[in-house]
Chain A
Amino acid sequence: MSDALLEARALCKHFGGLRAVHGVDLCVDRGEIVALIGPNGAGKTTCFNCITGADVATAGDVRLGGTSVVGWPAWRVAQAGVGRTFQNIRLFKEMTVLDNVRTPAAFRAGYGLLAAVLRTRAYRASEARTEARARELLALVELEDAAGARARELPYGDQRRLEVARALMLEPRVLLLDEPAAGMNPSEKGELAELVRRIRDERGVAVLLIEHDMKFVMGLSERIYVLDHGEPIACGTPSEVRADPRVVEAYLGAPAEGAR
């Protein structure tokens, strides 16, 4: 058994006759930034869903620090150290920015309903700690000034970074980012890449990310997995993947894309 931080082996997810994911092996080690790429509909998001427990895999194994998390409810996988963001932003829209970030800390609150009602010392201390950590994460994603705003009021790019801060509140061991740069302009993408590096370097969180922008992926990740029609077609360093003829055919085929 390997002691990789996150490992998926022979992962399959079939929807009826559709093999959305078929025989995918994935591995993320501590301190790594790894990318998962592939054309639209290749099965990338479905991989994330199977890893995080949002979907139940048809077959295969997912291990976190050597422990199989297959069949675990999603909240338990999250609490065990897997944070994620969503391709279609899923913030708690009517809640404030601060409350969005504080929410995932509920399982570490350390006080019960009665303590909350009575506002005990334990409650107050825990709330103060949670708020301080949330504000620190908001500062990391440069949203500290928006703490009191409603999540739905934020511009698009800010909402994406808020999702990152919210996921980090879990104190995850690995962070799964589903197209975090989608809809961002080049300078925003540059800042995002910098943020991802800081999350890895300063907080020791490994990152697995899905992204379409090849320049973004190539510059950021140490290892890349390529999916096509649910099946793995290549894996390696950015330069290896770039040179792989099957990848060029399946994904980088379009000259405009390859030239960038």
Chain B
Amino acid sequence: MTTTTDAVVGYDDAIARFDPVMGLEVHVELNTATKMFCGCATVFGAEPNTHVCPVCLGLPGALPVVNRTAVESAIRIGLALNCSIADWCRFARKNYFYPDMPKNFQTSQYDEPIAFEGYLDVELDDGSTYRVDIERAHMEEDTGKSLHVGGATGRIQGAEYSLVDFNRAGIPLIEIVTKPLTGAGERAPEVARAYVSALRDLVKALGVSDVRMEQGSMRCDANVSLRAKAGDGGDQNAVPLGTRTETKNVNSLRSVERAIHYEICRHAAVLDSGASILQETRHWHEDTGATTSGRPKSDADDYRYFPEPDLVPVAPAAELVEQLRESLPEPPAKRRKRLQADWGYSDLEMRDVINAGAIDLIEQTVANGATAAGARKWWTGELARRANNEGKALEDFGVTTADIAALDGMVRDGRLNDSMARQVLDGVLAGEGRPTQVADARGLELVQDDGALEAAVDKVIAGNEAVADKVRAGKLNAAGALIGQVMKELKGQADAAKAREMILAKLT
């Protein structure tokens, strides 16, 4: 393993002289109840080796049986990616030895994928569209998970010993492979991120996977190569592709962008030095923002594929495919446009919502009775901030969309002000109950009694004559100090707007 730092050239410099070409392979773990070829449960985070059986442990004599739901999910993904669906296809064995592969072959698909020849239109930051051509989507099984103990790198080389958890072995995967993505130029890293993001949204909308990159239920391998730029008037597509490297297991959207950015700079440096790119797999390091050399990989890598004789061919009936096509949800991009119009968000607001991953949450919150503006404020503001601080996903944050709708309603009804609503949220998160219960129990309620408010206002004006005079002289901003005093007087439970109104009425 290489530990030395590779030379890189500046990104703009690299892009000025080279044309980057990418190929993205995304693995999506399906959320079927059982594994691809056996009846074991697909549970994330269970005790190691508790969801295993003779089939997924590769015991002698065990045989696979295809999970129908997984095939349907694969077809739905294929259809959503505008692919053709094979009317007859087979599984194939991909033969190679590795300790976390129970059979030392992976049951996959080779030259007969379930879905092929599709595309996904991806929206970039400036609103333009890039069409990603999809070569294929095929079904396969996941491997076990190795834990290499000891040694500096957490990799098998140099480890004291390794542990293998076969709970993951046999979990259904769909591998989605793009054609070489050309023409993105300097925007290549952005295109890659936008594609993986769009794919994630699409798969999520289909409901066939949790697509949690941080949990590994969606993983991206990024192939990058550089080729010389065609001269003026030259046909860039006529320039042959350069040698590629494959950066494995890039596990966040940001990393996809960064890893490709890095590889472009590194390739350029290698090519500048007159050396040639070594065809190999590379590992992405989030902390250093760099890749390191993995194992050499060449086209001569020989997996000795042959059709899996233990399985019968998969031949989905045309009616089934049509049925699945009709069951497809609204495409995410289209849905986003519809919701933005419904909610009346600006482009900037909508982008915030998308980046926060809050569309579904806002939709549900609005469905639960919140205003669109209120829901957005909560999810992209207070909640996003808290989730971020705790390193949690928004949906895992422990507050329901009904709670947020209730909070929003209480603020709208004038029962709570914003700071009180935040206190109620604290109570909800602390398990004190639903928002109304928390507000009741904590005695949080705006003072609705105008008499009490008026008394407080009078008292504050009387005690702050100098400030009151400024307001009387037309310096309306000075009223702020008086409002603050009123709030203090009423222990924060006053309606600030009403207090202001009353102060101004009395002084002007």
- Do chains A and B interact in one complex? no
